[in-house]
Structure 1
Amino acid sequence: MTEQTPTPAEAIPGGVVNPATVPAAAEPQPEAPAPQVEEVPAPVEPDYKALYEKIQADLESTRERSTEAGVEADELRAQVAQLQEQALRDRIAAEYALPPVLAALVQGGDEAEVRKHAEALAAVAAPRPLLGAGGLTPHSEPDPYKGLAEKLRQRRYGI
């Protein structure tokens, strides 16, 4: 194809068109190729049986996970209940100032039973008052070594 030189009107902006020149629009233009139409493939039928089986397998695995989660939740609830009961026993044993050995023995199903049992253990574990701390006469000075063993026992064992 030969390249044409532009006319002065085309080359110079605002130029005047020479009436002797053939306008560019009058020249035969090569035809543009026709747009190609893409052929759309026919829709393929999905494999419904395979989809159904996949969904059934997913449903079954979800049910299994749900059952496992339910069992785990039940175990955790049992642990929480056990820890709450132990915390109640420990708190009440501390209220009655029971030593750790006796605090472990506190039992009961509810708070009233636990309190009753802790009170009974506290009565047994409470130190008994020492009678006759003085000498033979009521106004004499007490023996400084007489209660020493009892005081040491109380400090060491908290009883």
Structure 2
Amino acid sequence: MHLGGAGAEFGAGAGGGDEGQPERGLLPAPGVQGEGLGEEFLDLCAAVGAALGVGLGVLRGATVTLFERDGVAWQRYTGRTFLVAAGSLVVMAGFGFLAGRFGLAPDARPVQLSIGVGFLGEALAVGCRVLVAGLPFAPERRDLNLPLGTDRIRR
């Protein structure tokens, strides 16, 4: 996609494509009908990617082992957690492939969004499980200037 400065022709074959043919971009080039994707499709892909990321994150969070150590909740990934994480990568790659088959440009695929909301989904699942189990969360550090390894609050 050509994103030149003032006076540049947007989507007019400047990227080495066929002369006079519009480039395939995120949105239709001005005056070109049906060549790009509408904003509704981009929003739908972002929403589906986000929902898929949260759902896979919740699934990953359900496989984490929770336990109490030093009076607070701790978590540990299990073999199943890593299997779910690998499966999530496969599912998200498949989603990216399908989005590309429907014409979504690689730069517009919500990969980073789905990764971020995946961690959000995992945190929500683990946090809910900690609350249901009645385990206490670790307190915040009171002195951020302490050397590493000495951040535990002594009672």
Q: Would you call these one fold, judging by a TM-score over 0.5?
A: no
What TM-score does the superposition give when structure 1 sets the normalisation length? 0.23
- Structure ranking higher in strand proportion: 2
